[in-house]
Amino acid sequence: MSVLSRFQQGDFRALSRIISFVENRKDGYRELLGNLYRQSGRAIRIGVTGPPGAGKSTLVNRLAHTYFAGGSKVGIVAVDPTSPFTGGALLGDRVRMNEFEPGSGVFFRSMATRGASGGLASSTDNVAIVLDAFGFDVVLIETVGVGQVELDIVDACDVVLVVVVPESGDSVQTMKAGLMEIADIMVVNKADRPGSDKIISELNTTMQMRQPADSDWAVPVVATVAIKNENIDVLCGRLTEYLDFKREAGVFEEERRRRIEKKILAILINRFHDEFVDRLTQQVEFEQYVDETYQGKSSPYDIADELYRRFSGKQL
């Protein structure tokens, strides 16, 4: 039986192999994704992000257990963009551990982060499409780190949780502005620690002040202690409320369409890169162009102009 048939029948090992196929962009991966895409669209994507040390992994695991116990099929994608300054262990965060045994019913996958950072968001999205097509009801996407890549990743989620901890203190002050813009729900995790009440009330005030006039969703602040499983049910309740709100307001549909739009453009840029730009560098001719420029006879702008015109023989 082929890998794809076993995938269709719900085999986790076949799923893993197909994810690797897609991640490594093997020949034919776009066609495969095109087919799987038509089976996708049911899964809810929950993005979980925030500063290192906030307990995101534990929270994601608890959410997975809770949804699974409620009868949902759950997949987790853990992304840890490699920082040039830390080689991955950004500000002391450890590598994400998988506590789900094979056969536990919850599927866990960490993303390989080697390669271009520009491609990581698009790879994560591809993997989420595979999980969706496989039949998961809930796909949890966890990003460990702080940066543009995380923003791109959670941008393709139906709901975004931003997780902070009481200790964040001053740093949360400085981070509020940026966090506000991406959070649909704020989570103060490790809320049994000192300073919890203060940060919750601060966040509530900030959220109220910053709520856009045209939005009917007031970003709630949920206090959790993930490691003790405290308030995870409350958080799930908020998640359901938010998704209901989005559906009723028509935002859900609108966002999914915007996501399709972005996806088409991302694939186009990707192809241009793979099929034109990458091949260029392998041509003898290209070395001559570089020579000319190095000798001051031309400029990169003129060379690019010539190459581009040659490529785009038929303009739009």
By three-state DSSP, how is residue 88 classified? coil
CB under 8 A: which stretch of 60-68, 221-229, 241-249, 292-300 binds a second copy? 292-300
Site for a second copy in 182-201 (CB under 8 A): 182
**Does residue 265 interact with a second copy by CB under 8 A?**
yes
SS3 217: coil
Q: What is the rounded CA–CA span in Å between residue 316 and residue 297?
A: 32
Residue number, 55 or 64, with CB nearest to a second copy: 55
Dist. CA 289–CA 52, nearest whole Å: 45
User: Interacting stretch for a second copy, rule CB under 8 A, among 34-42, 69-77, 135-143, 208-216?
Assistant: 34-42
Q: Which of 171, 201, 215, 288 binds a second copy (CB under 8 A)?
A: 171
192 versus 275: smaller Cβ distance to a second copy: 275
d(CA 295, CA 287): 12
| Of residues 45-104, those binding a second copy (CB under 8 A) | 51, 81, 83-87, 89, 91-92
Bridge pairing between strands 138-143 and 159-164: unpaired
| Residue 113 or 224 with smaller CB distance to a second copy | 113
CB atoms within 10 A of CB 301: 8
- Based on the shown chain and the rule CB under 8 A, indicate whether residue 118 belongs to the binding site for a second copy: yes
- The yes or no reply on residue 135 touching a second copy (CB under 8 A) is no
- What DSSP state is assigned to residue 75? E
Q: Are 227 and 58 in contact (CB under 8 A)?
A: yes
257 binds a second copy, rule: CB under 8 A: yes
To a second copy, the closest distance from the beta carbon of 280 in angstroms equals 7
The answer to whether 164 and 199 are in contact (CB under 8 A) is yes
Residue 151 burial (CB < 10 Å; 0-12/13-18/19+)?
A: middle
Neighbour tally for 11: CB within 10 Å: 16
Among 20, 24, 34, 169, binds a second copy (CB under 8 A): 34
Exactly one of 146, 163, 203, 223 binds a second copy (CB under 8 A); that residue is 146
The distance of closest approach from Cβ of residue 179 to a second copy in the complex, given in angstroms and rounded to an integer, is: 6
The footprint of a second copy on this chain (CB under 8 A) covers a number of residues equal to 78
Locus of tokens 């959410």: 63
Q: Nearer to a second copy by C-beta: 64 or 164?
A: 164
Q: Quick one: 63 or 162, whose CB is closer to a second copy?
A: 162
Residue pair 294/285 in contact by the 8 Å Cβ criterion: no
**Closer residue to a second copy (CB): 146 or 225:** 146
Residues 59, 63, 64, 66, CA torsion sign = positive
Considering the complex, state which of residue 51 and residue 220 has its C-beta at the smaller distance from a second copy. 51
Query: Quick check: 129 and 33 in contact, CB under 8 A?
Result: yes
What one-character DSSP code corresponds to residue 158?
A: S
Contact between 10 and a second copy (CB under 8 A)? no
Q: Does 250 bind a second copy (CB under 8 A)?
A: no
Task: Name the residue nearer to a second copy (CB basis): 54 or 225.
Answer: 54
Q: Which of 10, 70, 99, 311 binds a second copy (CB under 8 A)?
A: 311
Cα dihedral sign for 201, 205, 211, 216?
A: positive
Segment interacting with a second copy, rule: CB under 8 A, options 187-195, 198-206, 244-252, 264-272: 264-272
